[in-house]
Amino acid sequence: MLLLLLLGVLSVFVGSPDPCVGSDVLSSQLFILPLMHHNFSFLTPGVSYRPSLRDMPDLPSWLHYTYSPAVRTGFVYGVPPEGIQDFELEVIARDKHTYETSHQVFKMNVLDQSRKPYEVRFKIQNMNVEELLVGGRWDRLHQVISNDLWQESADDLTVTSLASATERGDRLPASPDEKEGVYVSYGSSVPFSAALLELEKEVEPLWHHQPCPLYFKKTSYERFFQQQGFAIDWCSFKLHNNKKSNTIGEDANGEDEGPKSPVISALENEGRVYLQRRDQVEKRSYTFDVVHTILIPLVVMLVLLGLLTLAMCCHRNHIIPTGQDIQMVQYASIHRATEALRTLKGREHSPHPSTATTTTQADTLTRSRTASPSSTLPRNSTLSRRFEDYATLSRPDPPPYQRNGTTPTR
């Protein structure tokens, strides 16, 4: 029975890009389990798979499942963490047409392996995980890393991480035709090559840009990836030395994932949220915060208010006129009105020049004893004179006469 199980597992891994062979998997190294149709009791195009741990409802957080329509099969992939024990995978296949079901159990023997000290991590933009696992793309990507960028690690190069961009917290693309992206990590015991160090220094200015700018110039080694059909997100290209202590933003496995929301953290911890007790919360004084945010602005506001009040009170005496100035202004207005009335009174007894001339001419004419409708006397002379007198009220007073350069007093 054990021999048959081993033969079945060996047949599963035939043609797989997974570096592991048979039912043995290495910790800290990627393994991929393809769920081929011939592994089950039926072979039809419409088959769906549901993998999980044996006697468990789902897969653990470090195992993932994807389905590739190109080859009509699913893939279970993941990196066993260090210290994990042997596990069994149970896969249930269901025919969508006949509703026939079949299940199979894969027993995985985990061999302990230390984590690779040197890792290179980057993101592929133009494909998803299931597209990377089929069509020989996995082998072409391995050749680019081992032959063109890291030749010293050709015999020791392994895949240490494989995850979809959405699993790392990236947003789904706006268009359904766009790809989600894939994060890939390669590790080795050999130090980084000069090409990798030069490439990291070249793309270091892009690490703080999100999303990655499209106008960035082409990198020196980008041609090797483009020739194999890979579009690399250079904002995520980083080299990690696991011998040093983990920096801020790296998890226990050294993944530089940045800050995560509580929802993503809870999902990665299989629904477990770790809360601190009250006595574990760090205590600190808020006196400096109160002084800095409340007292200092309040003192500054009071000082400014005092200066504004002082400026308004001192300048008030120069703006508002005194009582003596008000009386002089009133006297001047009354004096101007009196002079205007005196001028009108003098003009009332002296006839207007135009009126006098008209009257003299009218007296020379021979008056008829009877009323003549064709009289040439101006009948409206009195009204015209009154109108002209009233019109002079709006005229300004003429300037005083000067005699020998001096102005006479009134």
pLDDT surpassing 60 at residue 238? yes
> What are the sequence ranges of the domains in the chain?
2-111, 118-274
Rounded-to-integer distance, Cα 98 and Cα 193, Å: 55
Can you give the pLDDT at residue 119?
94
pLDDT surpassing 70 at residue 47? yes
Average pLDDT of the chain, as a whole number: 75
pLDDT surpassing 70 at residue 56? yes
Contact present, 197 and 118 (Cβ < 8 Å) = no
Question: In percent, how much of the chain has pLDDT > 70?
Answer: 65
Decide: residue 239, CB within 10 A, 0-12 exposed, 13-18 middle, 19+ buried. Answer: middle
* CB neighbourhood size of 305 (10 A): 10
Rounded-to-integer distance, Cα 255 and Cα 161, Å: 9
pLDDT surpassing 60 at residue 19? no
pLDDT tens, position by position, 25-40: 888 899 898 887 545 5
Q: Looking at per-residue confidence, does 173 or 361 come out higher?
A: 173
* pLDDT-based confidence at residue 16 (cuts at 50, 70, 90): very low
* pLDDT-based confidence at residue 191 (cuts at 50, 70, 90): very high
* pLDDT-based confidence at residue 3 (cuts at 50, 70, 90): very low
Can you give the pLDDT at residue 362?
42
How would you classify the pairing of strands 101-111 and 24-26?
Answer: parallel
Q: Looking at per-residue confidence, does 384 or 62 come out higher?
A: 62
pLDDT tens, position by position, 296-311: 999 999 999 999 998 8
Can you give the pLDDT at residue 294?
92
* Stretch 161-171: mean pLDDT: 88
pLDDT surpassing 60 at residue 274? no
Rounded-to-integer distance, Cα 132 and Cα 126, Å: 10
Rounded-to-integer distance, Cα 345 and Cα 337, Å: 13
* pLDDT-based confidence at residue 321 (cuts at 50, 70, 90): low
* Stretch 316-323: mean pLDDT: 58
* pLDDT-based confidence at residue 347 (cuts at 50, 70, 90): low
Q: Looking at per-residue confidence, does 116 or 251 come out higher?
A: 116
* Stretch 241-257: mean pLDDT: 55
Contact present, 86 and 80 (Cβ < 8 Å) = no
> For the structural domain made of 2-111, what CATH number should be given?
2.60.40.10
* Stretch 116-127: mean pLDDT: 92
* Stretch 259-279: mean pLDDT: 56
